[in-house]
Amino acid sequence: MAQLASFDIVSDYDIQELKNALDQTEREIATRFDLKDTKTSIEHKGEELTINTNSEVTLATVHDVLESKFHKRGLSLKILEYGKEEEASGGRVRQVVKLKKGIPDDLAKQINKRIRDEFKKVTPQIQGSTIRVQAKSRDDLQGVITALKAEDYPVALQFTNYR
């Protein structure tokens, strides 16, 4: 019997790279002339970030700095889900940013259906928040990866455990 080749489709981020990007963002905020005296803070707890700053203008600037550091560290901006801007004490502005991890069920079903329709020799299986894709030929798997990379999904997709 021929051995099956496989890979997993996941939506995840590197926690160490996230910490590095946040550290670089905080350092730039502390040294930039336009942000130095705003007492801006970024708090990381679990799966969310809390940005606290003095105005909506500086909040937009913090977004730019944060996104540029994420991009430089190789983190996808699709993991960021910005919440509503809220008033905080002292006339300040607070915003909670959720960090998205995992493929939602409806998107996993959509990806699964697309793979089944376009690639007849490939068998995808949904396993929690990941999708395992198997085939006899590695070339078929490469075709699936290429097709999924060309598509723009609302989550960041990574292809792991390629065997």
**Position 1 pLDDT exceeds 60:** no
Residue 22 has pLDDT above 60, yes or no: yes
Per-residue pLDDT at 11: 93
Stretch 73-100: mean pLDDT:
93
pLDDT at 21 over 60: yes
DSSP code, position 159: E
Residue 28 pLDDT > 90: yes
Q: What percent of the chain has pLDDT over 90?
A: 87
| One fold for 5-12+102-160 and 15-99 | yes
Helix crossing, 105-118 with 138-150: angle to 10°? 130
The residue-averaged pLDDT of 155-160 equals 92
The token duo for 123 is 């068998």
The domain spans of the chain are 5-12+102-160, 15-99
Statement: 15-99 belongs to CATH 3.30.70.990: yes
pLDDT (average), residues 114-143: 93
